[in-house]
C-alpha cells in the first residue's frame, strides 16, 4: 500500500489541548512508526514525511507538526515532557500499543526521552544525527566560525544553540545564515527552497534552546533503554557530530551505530537509498515486519 491510499489520514487533531496537524499513511494493520521532526520552531512534518514516506509499504507511518512548529498551534508549554506526552497521545489516538519511535536532530532528543519514559511502548528506536547532552555544542560554533562556504555573521554565531531571538524575522535571518552548514554537498538553491518553505515560531525555538537544553543530559538514563536501537549520523555533521552519536551507541545496550560517509546533518536526504536500506535491515533484524 502506498501514500495516497484510502487509509491515509491528514488533518488537525486536538492533542493535550493543542491543535496538531497530523498525517498517517500506509496499512492500518501494519506496525506503526511515529517520526518526530527536529528544529522546534523551524522544523515540520515535511522532512519526516519525505524521509520515511517510503516505509509506508510496510508500516503505518505517522508524522506531525509538534506544538509550536509548522502548522500546529502555539500552545505552551514547549517542554520535552509535553512533547513526549503529545507523542504518546498520538499513539493512543491511532490505537497502537507499541510503535517504532524515530527522530532526527532535536526530534532525536524527544525520541530518546519517549523511549525512557515509555519503554513498554517502544518496539524499536531509530535515531538520526542527535545527541544525549550538549557536550559537543561548542564544536558547532567552531565549525560556523571556520567554514569556507560562506561568511556567517557574528551575531548569528553568537546565537547558535542559545534561544535568544526577538522575532520571527530575526530567526529567519539566522536560519538563512546557517543553512549552508547543513549538507555535505552545499547547494544554494536547496537552501533557498528550504528557507522559503519554513514557518517560523521564534518563541518555541527560544524555549527549546534557552530553557530545555541547558538542563538536557540523558546519559545516566540511556542504559535503561532495552529496545533495539539504531543510531545513524552523517560523517560531516556540523551540528551533532559523530562523537555525539558514539556516546549514545556506547550507552544504550547493543545499539547499532551507522555512519554515512557522504552526508552532513541529513543522511536521510543526502543518501536516501542507503539510509532506507539501513533502516529496513535494522527493523528486519529486530523482527519488526
Q: pLDDT digits over 18-46, tens only?
A: 999 999 999 999 999 999 999 999 999 99
Q: Tell me, what CATH number does 259's domain have?
A: 3.40.50.1820
pLDDT of 289: 78
Q: Are residues 16 and 112 in the same domain?
A: yes
Least confident of 7-11, 178-182, 225-229, 263-267: 7-11
Measured between its terminal Cα atoms, the distance across the chain in Å is 14
Q: Is-above-0.85 flag for pTM?
A: yes
6 has pLDDT over 70:
no
Residue 191 pLDDT > 60 = yes
Domain closes at, from 202, 236, 255: 202
2 within domain boundaries: no
Average pLDDT of the residues in 125-135: 98
Q: Does one domain contain both 127 and 144? A: no
Q: Is residue 142 located within the same domain as residue 266?
A: no
Whether 83 and 194 share a structural domain: no
The string of pLDDT tens digits covering residues 91-110 is: 999 999 999 999 999 999 99
Q: Are residues 128 and 143 in the same domain?
A: no
Domain match, 88 and 160 both: no
Count up the domains in the chain and report the number.
Answer: 2
For residues 17 and 52, state if they share a domain: yes
Where do runs of H (alpha helix) occur along 71-215? 80-94, 106-117, 137-146, 154-157, 168-178, 188-197, 202-206
Decide if 124 is inside a domain: yes
With a CB cutoff of 8 Å and minimum separation 6, the contacts of 32 are: 59, 60, 62, 91, 94, 96, 98, 99, 100
Question: Residue 2's pLDDT band (boundaries 50, 70, 90)?
Answer: very low
Q: Return the biggest CA–CA distance within the chain.
A: 51
Mean pLDDT of 43-59: 97
CA angle at 164 for the pair 215 and 179, rounded to the nearest 5°: 100
Tell whether 256 and 220 lie within a shared domain. yes
For residue 236, pLDDT beyond 50: yes
The answer as to whether 126 is a domain residue is: yes
The whole-angstrom separation of Cα 174 and Cα 181 is 12
Q: Of 153, 178, 202, which one is at a domain's C-terminal end?
A: 202
Based on the fold, state whether residues 119 and 215 are members of the same structural domain: yes
C-alpha to C-alpha distance for 45 and 60, rounded to whole angstroms: 15
Q: Output the CA–CA distances (angstroms, integers) from residue 10 to 4, 49, 64, 110, in the order listed.
A: 10, 12, 9, 22
Residue at 1 is within a domain: no
Note down the domain range covering 143: 137-202
Residues 24 and 90 in one domain: yes
* Residue finishing a domain among 149, 183, 202: 202
In angstroms, rounded to a whole number, what is the distance separating the alpha carbons of residues 140 and 78? Answer: 24
Q: Cβ(260)–Cβ(236) under 8 Å? A: no
Same domain, 61 and 183: no
Amino acid at each position: 500500500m502506498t501514500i495516497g491510499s484510502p487509509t491515509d489520514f491528514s488533518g488537525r487533531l486536538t492533542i493535550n489541548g493543542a491543535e496538531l496537524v497530523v498525517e498517517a499513511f500506509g496499512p492500518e494493520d501494519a506496525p506503526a512508526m511515529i517520526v518526530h521532526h527536529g528544529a522546534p520552531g523551524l522544523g515540520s512534518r515535511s522532512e519526516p514525511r519525505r524521509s520515511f514516506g517510503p516505509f509506508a509499504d510496510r508500516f503505518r507511518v505517522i508524522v506531525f507538526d509538534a506544538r509550536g512548529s509548522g502548522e500546529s498551534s502555539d500552545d505552551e508549554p514547549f517542554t520535552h515532557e509535553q512533547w513526549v506526552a503529545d507523542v504518546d497521545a498520538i499513539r493512543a489516538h491511532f490505537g497502537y500499543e507499541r510503535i517504532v519511535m524515530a527522530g532526527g536532530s532535536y526530534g532525536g532528543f524527544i525520541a530518546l526521552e519517549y523511549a525512557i519514559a515509555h519503554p513498554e511502548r517502544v518496539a524499536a528506536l531509530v535515531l538520526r544525527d542527535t545527541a544525549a547532552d550538549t557536550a559537543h555544542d561548542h564544536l558547532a560554533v567552531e565549525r560556523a566560525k571556520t567554514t569556507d562556504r560562506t561568511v556567517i555573521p557574528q551575531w548569528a554565531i553568537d546565537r547558535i544553540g542559545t534561544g535568544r531571538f526577538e522575532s520571527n524575522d530575526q530567526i529567519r535571518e539566522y536560519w538563512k545564515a546557517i543553512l549552508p552548514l547543513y549538507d555535505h554537498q552545499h547547494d544554494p538553491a536547496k537552501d533557498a527552497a528550504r528557507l522559503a518553505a519554513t514557518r517560523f515560531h521564534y518563541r518555541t525555538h527560544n524555549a527549546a534552546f534557552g530553557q530545555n537544553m541547558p538542563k538536557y543530559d540523558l546519559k545516566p538514563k540511556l542504559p535503561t533503554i532495552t529496545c533495539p536501537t539504531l543510531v545513524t549520523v552523517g560523517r560531516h555533521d556540523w551540528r551533532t557530530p559523530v562523537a555525539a552519536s558514539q556516546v549514545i551507541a556506547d550507552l544504550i545496550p547493543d545499539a547499532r551505530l551507522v555512519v554515512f560517509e557522504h552526508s552532513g546533518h541529513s543522511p536521510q536526504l543526502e543518501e536516501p537509498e542507503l539510509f532506507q536500506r539501513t533502516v529496513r535491515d535494522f527493523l528486519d533484524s529486530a523482527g519488526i515486519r
